[in-house]
Amino acid sequence: AQSVSQHNHHVILSEAASLELGCNYSYGGTVNLFWYVQYPGQHLQLLLKYFSGDPLVKGIKGFEAEFIKSKFSFNLRKPSVQWSDTAEYFCAVKRDTGRRALTFGSGTRLQVQP
Amino acid sequence: DGGITQSPKYLFRKEGQNVTLSCEQNLNHDAMYWYRQDPGQGLRLIYYSQIVNDFQKGDIAEGYSVSREKKESFPLTVTSAQKNPTAFYLCASSADVTSTDTQYFGPGTRLTVL
């Protein structure tokens, strides 16, 4: 069974610091990769997604992620965080075959201090 | 206003009672999903449906049941057989179940068993 690992459970940063959140998955076949964000009191919403092509994908609010196939990784980055980035971030994987629902990581809670 | 609605937002039930959570979408999506979110565990798939009158078990289907009689509706029943039902429940939908398709999420229902 595939799994998704997010190694950072709780990250605390000051405003303007750079962010990198790790995500690794275990499935060996073709996958599609997603990062979702859950702001306090709001719906889970899509930040960015990778299907094919350029492994560096850009999303909303200045976020980007890089797919490294050899490392089974899809890390999320932002050069300079803001207080409004305080949220919980989830990495998710969807296989190209078989079950087509998302498998989520356990999430990373990001707290940005002003 | 298009989207996914879940009701109620908060739900309390006594042990031994079944309870049904509502999920409605007006996005004309074929696929719908139910996830359970627990602190530190991310989202786990309960059931999903690719099309009307069809649904499949996810990773944690025991103690839950669903129906998909209409395209826009996918109610989830939490039965008394679910040993630890207190959680945050999220409904999602996507246009179809292809691996490239994005899932959109509702606001969630927080269920507390007293």
Instruction: Find the range with the poorest average confidence among B54-68, B71-85, B99-113.
Output: B99-113
pLDDT tier at B97, thresholds 50, 70, 90: low
Q: Which of B33, B97, B100 sits opposite A51 (nearest CB)?
A: B100
pLDDT in tens, A83-98: 999 999 999 998 877 7
Beta bridge partners of B93: B32, B104
Answer whether A69's CB lies under 8 Å from A90's CB: no
Which pLDDT does position B41 carry in this prediction?
Answer: 84
Question: Which of A25, A36, A94 has the most B C-beta neighbours within 10 Å, making it the best mutation to test the interface with B?
Answer: A94
The chain-wide mean pLDDT, for chain B, equals 91
- The pLDDT, as a whole number, for residue A77 is 97
Nearest by CB to residue B42, choosing from A96, A101, A104, is: A104
Decide if A106 and B40 are in contact by the 8 Å CB cutoff: yes
Q: How confident is the model at residue B100 (pLDDT cuts 50, 70, 90)?
A: low
Average pLDDT value for residue range B8-34: 93
